[in-house]
A and B are shown apart, each in its own frame.
Chain A
């Protein structure tokens, strides 16, 4: 019977890898859609606290970012005290004012009344620093702020 006839060649055919690019492209597209370009390199620790009464920040171009937290492990030489980060570098509290004014000036005129300051503060920071930042913002009339948090139960914070 012909079905039992032994095949003359025993060599295995090469496994087709033609679908491998498709899989990788799928991953690639996922990352392209789900992420955004990094605009600031974080040099402070930035582990955000949890909250659930949160709103989405709309319009990327209407947001000014201020980071604060302990210097990250690579920048241990500047000390362990929590610091403010503005535009890729450490800043003192007095620089916040000029930074914010500079940022406001760089935005188009019609957007200026709607600017929001996003405050990304590490959860272990002391409120004194945050309070100082808030005072500086009040001094330059940037009253709309947003404490960036992670989505989650607020009770996760105090553990």
Chain B
């Protein structure tokens, strides 16, 4: 007896079903962006202990006015120059004796910051400043910190700081995480992020 072939199943409507599902997913989902700049806000003013005296030279004033113009130490500056200016300030290491910074590679200008531990970046913005300009400035300042931290991490441990942080978050990382965490803390303490944000000023006319 000849073998009977099974009749072919008509799969023409399968595509329709798949399209239906596809369109459902297209409309009900979004491509989520969960990347962003992480910051820590300071607690409310009444809970902060009265701040210790900060020397003028240890303060780096970054100001964004109501028409999104950038001023650094009262002088106008382009956004592309901000990172270099911030690095020069943080890495200056102008201090002597107890405030001497052994790992700083700056110009050691006595008029600029003593030590990365003392250096404070103060960011002031107007209420009228655009959010995107603010984010751009924040991004540049953080990238200045990251660049310095990367440099020191490569020098001491041979791995960049951003890579160490990625390894710490990586679930499949095989290395010793407690050691890694200590190293990250160490690098962070060499260049602590001291970024103070004043209350936004209202536009002065």
Contact = CB atoms under 8 A, between A and B. Distances in A.
Given A35-B29, A128-B200, A146-B36, A24 B135 contact: no
B122 to A, nearest CB: 15
Contacts of B127: 126-128, 131
A157 interface: yes
Contacts of B140: 154
A36 interface: yes
Contact of A128 (B29, B30, B128): B128
A49 interface: yes
Interface stretch (B15-23, B91-99, B183-191): B15-23
A121 B36 CA distance: 11
Given A21-B18, A28-B18, A35-B31, A54 B132 contact: no
Interface in A100-159: 116, 118-119, 121-128, 130-131, 134, 137-139, 141-151, 154-155, 157-158
A55 B25 contact: no
Given A27-B22, A38-B30, A126-B127, A151 B35 contact: yes
B41 interface: yes
A64 interface: no
B131 interface: yes
A85 B167 CA distance: 35
A100 to B, nearest CB: 12
A5 B43 CA distance: 92
B35 to A, nearest CB: 4
Interface residues of A, number: 60
Contacts of B79: 154-155, 158
B38 interface: yes
A9 to B, nearest CB: 19
Given A27-B22, A127-B200, A149 B29 contact: no
Contacts of B25: 28, 31-32, 35
Contacts, number: 177
Contacts of A35: 25, 29-32
Task: Give the contact-size bracket for chain B.
Answer: 35 or more
A52 interface: yes
Interface string A15-26: 001101100110
A139 B139 CA distance: 25
Contacts of A34: 31
Given A54-B37, A123-B131, A143 B26 contact: no
A36 to B, nearest CB: 5
A51 interface: yes
A37 interface: yes
B34 A118 contact: yes
Contact of A25 (B18, B32, B37): B18
Contact of A158 (B11, B18, B68, B200): B68
B139 A123 contact: no
Given A147-B39, A147-B135, A149-B135, A155 B129 contact: no
Given A57-B35, A138-B43, A147-B37, 18 more contacts: A24-B22, A31-B22, A34-B31, A53-B143, A53-B146, A54-B35, A55-B36, A119-B36, A122-B131, A124-B130, A127-B127, A131-B125, A138-B44, A149-B35, A149-B37, A154-B135, A154-B139, A157-B135
7 contacts: A25-B18, A50-B136, A124-B132, A126-B129, A127-B128, A134-B41, A146-B38
